[in-house]
């Protein structure tokens, strides 16, 4: 039988820790000590937040491309109707 010692932290807490590292330019190890969590955990949170940002950015770029195609299509339809 294995006993799990994993803790679950709230999203707000994770964002607070990530903010300390990214926005306040603090060392990962210092932030980890301040909040009483492992540096490995902080590293994973920061890395995961970067991944989510890139995924979101990709989704936005894809949506913009789709909307530009739709605008072109609707413009062509409008010109056809006006002729």
Show the low-confidence residues of the chain (pLDDT under 70): 1-6, 52, 54-55
Residue 40 domain boundaries:
11-82
pLDDT at 61: 84
Asked whether residue 3 is domain-assigned, the answer is no
Asked whether residue 70 is domain-assigned, the answer is yes
Give the C-alpha separation, 8 to 77, whole Å.
54
All residues at 6 or more sequence positions from 37 whose CB lies less than 8 Å from its CB, including other chains: 7, 9, 17
Tally the domains of the chain. 1
pTM over 0.85, yes/no = no
Asked whether residue 45 is domain-assigned, the answer is yes
pLDDT at 54: 64
């Amino acid at each position: 039988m294995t006993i799990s010692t994993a803790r679950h932290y709230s999203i707000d807490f994770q964002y607070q820790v990530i903010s300390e590292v990214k926005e306040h330019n603090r060392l990962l190890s210092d932030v980890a000590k301040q909040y009483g969590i492992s540096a490995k955990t902080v590293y994973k949170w920061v890395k995961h937040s970067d991944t989510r940002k890139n995924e979101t950015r990709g989704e936005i770029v894809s949506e913009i491309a789709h909307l530009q195609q739709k605008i072109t299509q609707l413009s062509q339809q409008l010109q056809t109707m006006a002729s």
